[in-house]
């Protein structure tokens, strides 16, 4: 078996610090394949059920982003209650050893094994004579340490531009368009509606400028959109949704199609209007603001 470079981490969001980690890993020996080890579901969902963080990417998106960042292969460890009981040495034996690494790369704050009892020094001790270990420092952007928690906090505050700087790309929500209340069509602004899965992160309720892409047609152009996130309080809605109006288009047939929505900038927070006329006036303003921001 060919020896490898192994990078280990959760990699939720595959933000710029993750990308830098993989770049450093591959630079150790670009003749060896880079194997990335990640975990699914999020370990906190097993260790602290009900208190796990919202996910920045689905598993499919994470794998795609890791490969785009340089991974030759991605190994997904299914994190279970049994895996949580493994000692650090058992983790190395079961997860790392059979990959025959020449070098293992982790983040500076990496912990592993039962009750997070192993750290970078533990990994070095267990790998002595078999593989070397490198610990990568955190990346700083805008004076902040880039991490998944920081991206989640930015999204919780509606700061999608900040999240994009940490991710190295616009934050994306993807899914299959479902039939909604169709009020947008009645008001002159037909929207593509995506339900929000409870386990996934989304920006704070409000209106945003961004882009819509059809994933069933990779050759199609990104379309400028005004995007609403929330429950539609003017009509006493309860289900949280991402609703995207493609600027100046009422001819799109997107039901049942998989789309991606990329967030560029927040325009305003969510507001409950006194009536339909006030809502329509605001929608006109939102569309004009999105157009000016996206199209100049």
Which CATH number do you get for residue 185? 2.40.30.30
Is residue 90 a part of any domain in this protein? yes
pLDDT digits (tens, 9 = 90+) for 223-252: 999 999 998 755 455 578 999 999 999 889
How many domains would you assign to the chain?
2
Q: What is the pTM of this model?
A: 0.92
* Residues 103, 173: Cα–Cα separation, whole Å: 35
Burial status of residue 118 (CB atoms within 10 A of its CB: 0-12, 13-18, 19 or more): buried
Task: Please check whether residues 16 and 85 belong to one and the same domain.
Answer: yes
Domain coverage including residue 72: 4-136
Angle between helices 160-167 and 148-156 (to 10 degrees): 160
Is residue 267 a part of any domain in this protein? yes
pLDDT digits (tens, 9 = 90+) for 197-215: 889 999 999 999 999 999 9
Task: Please check whether residues 123 and 180 belong to one and the same domain.
Answer: no
Task: Please check whether residues 101 and 198 belong to one and the same domain.
Answer: no
Task: Please check whether residues 190 and 125 belong to one and the same domain.
Answer: no
pLDDT digits (tens, 9 = 90+) for 30-66: 999 999 999 999 999 999 999 999 999 999 999 999 9
Q: Is the pLDDT of residue 16 over 90?
A: yes
Q: Is the pLDDT of residue 277 over 90?
A: no
pLDDT digits (tens, 9 = 90+) for 145-199: 999 999 999 999 999 999 999 999 999 999 999 987 655 565 668 999 999 888 9
Task: Please check whether residues 132 and 192 belong to one and the same domain.
Answer: no
* Residues 67, 19: Cα–Cα separation, whole Å: 10
Is residue 150 a part of any domain in this protein? no
Task: Please check whether residues 128 and 19 belong to one and the same domain.
Answer: yes
| 83: confidence class by pLDDT, cuts 50, 70, 90 | very high
Strand, helix or coil for residue 55:
strand
The CATH number covering residue 73 comes to: 3.40.50.620
Task: Please check whether residues 119 and 177 belong to one and the same domain.
Answer: no
Task: Please check whether residues 114 and 225 belong to one and the same domain.
Answer: no
The reported pLDDT for the residue numbered 186 is 59
| 282: confidence class by pLDDT, cuts 50, 70, 90 | confident
Is residue 160 a part of any domain in this protein? no
| 2: confidence class by pLDDT, cuts 50, 70, 90 | confident
Dump strand ranges (E) for 160-257. 171-176, 192-195, 206-214, 223-230, 241-246
Q: What is the mean pLDDT of residues 64-75?
A: 98
Q: Is the pLDDT of residue 144 over 80?
A: yes
Task: Please check whether residues 216 and 272 belong to one and the same domain.
Answer: yes
Task: Please check whether residues 118 and 176 belong to one and the same domain.
Answer: no
- Average confidence score pLDDT of the chain: 92
Task: Please check whether residues 98 and 191 belong to one and the same domain.
Answer: no
| Token duo for residue 211 | 């882009």
Task: Please check whether residues 129 and 55 belong to one and the same domain.
Answer: yes
Is residue 58 a part of any domain in this protein? yes
Is residue 55 a part of any domain in this protein? yes
Strand, helix or coil for residue 120:
helix
């Amino acid at each position: 078996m060919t020896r490898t470079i192994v990078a280990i981490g959760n990699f939720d969001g595959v933000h710029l610090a993750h990308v830098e980690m993989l770049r450093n890993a591959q630079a150790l020996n670009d003749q060896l394949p880079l194997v990335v080890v990640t975990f699914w579901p999020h370990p906190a969902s097993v260790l602290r059920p009900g208190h796990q963080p919202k996910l920045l990417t689905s598993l499919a998106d994470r794998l795609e982003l890791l490969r785009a960042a340089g991974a030759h292969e991605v190994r997904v460890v299914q994190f279970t209650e049994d895996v949580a009981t493994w000692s650090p040495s058992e983790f190395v034996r079961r997860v790392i050893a059979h990959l025959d690494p020449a070098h293992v790369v982790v983040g500076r704050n990496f912990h592993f094994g039962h009750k997070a009892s192993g750290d970078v020094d533990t990994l070095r001790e267990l790998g002595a004579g078999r593989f070397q270990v490198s610990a990568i420092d955190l990346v700083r952007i805008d004076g902040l340490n880039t991490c998944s928690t920081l991206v989640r906090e930015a999204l919780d505050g509606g700061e999608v531009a900040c999240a994009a700087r940490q991710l190295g790309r616009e934050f994306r929500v993807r899914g299959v368009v479902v039939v909604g209340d169709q009020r947008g069509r009645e008001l002159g602004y037909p929207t593509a509606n995506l339900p929000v899965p409870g386990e996934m992160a989304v920006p704070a309720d409000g209106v945003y400028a961004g882009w819509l892409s059809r994933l069933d047609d990779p050759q199609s152009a990104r379309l400028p959109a005004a995007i609403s996130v929330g429950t539609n309080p003017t009509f006493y809605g309860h289900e949280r949704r991402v609703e995207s109006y493609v600027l100046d288009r009422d001819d799109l047939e997107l039901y049942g199609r998989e789309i991606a929505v990329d967030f560029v900038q927040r325009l305003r927070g969510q507001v409950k209007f006194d009536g339909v006329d006030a809502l329509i006036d605001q929608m006109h303003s939102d569309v004009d603001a999105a157009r000016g921001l996206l199209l100049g």
